[in-house]
């Protein structure tokens, strides 16, 4: 360390005297409060769960249609399975 650096360290390490005003108001503000962000709405169900439920509903609708119209659905299935040449 050079002498200049030592002198600078001595000046930095010296005690700094606090000068208080004789008139006026002196206040110190110390905030220890937590800062909260704005609340965000989160979905109760995930998108994957919603898609899965939609697939279940669609499957249930198709099954209900087949049960209500057995003649139509079987004839449609036979037409679709028969090769058209």
**pLDDT at position 39, please?**
85
Say how far apart CA 67 and CA 61 lie, in whole Å: 10
Say how far apart CA 46 and CA 52 lie, in whole Å: 10
What are the boundaries of each domain within the chain? 3-68
Q: Structure tokens of 78?
A: 């036979």
- Does pTM top 0.85 for this prediction? no
Residue 8 has pLDDT above 70, yes or no: yes
Note the pLDDT tens digit of each residue in 11-48.
766 656 666 767 777 666 666 777 788 888 887 888 89
Place of tokens 């697939």: 55
**Overall average pLDDT of the 63-67 stretch:** 92
Helix (H, G, I), strand (E, B) or coil at 16: coil
Q: Structure tokens of 83?
A: 């090769």
Helix (H, G, I), strand (E, B) or coil at 36: coil
Higher pLDDT, 76 or 27: 27
**Overall average pLDDT of the 7-14 stretch:** 71
């Amino acid at each position: 360390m050079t002498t200049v650096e030592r002198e600078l360290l001595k000046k930095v390490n010296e005690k700094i005297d606090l000068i208080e005003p004789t008139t006026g108001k002196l206040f110190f503000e110390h905030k220890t409060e937590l800062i909260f962000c704005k609340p965000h709405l989160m979905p109760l169900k995930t998108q994957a769960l919603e898609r899965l439920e939609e697939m279940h509903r669609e499957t249930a609708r198709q099954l209900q249609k087949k049960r209500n119209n057995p003649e139509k659905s079987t004839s449609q299935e036979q037409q679709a399975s028969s090769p058209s040449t």
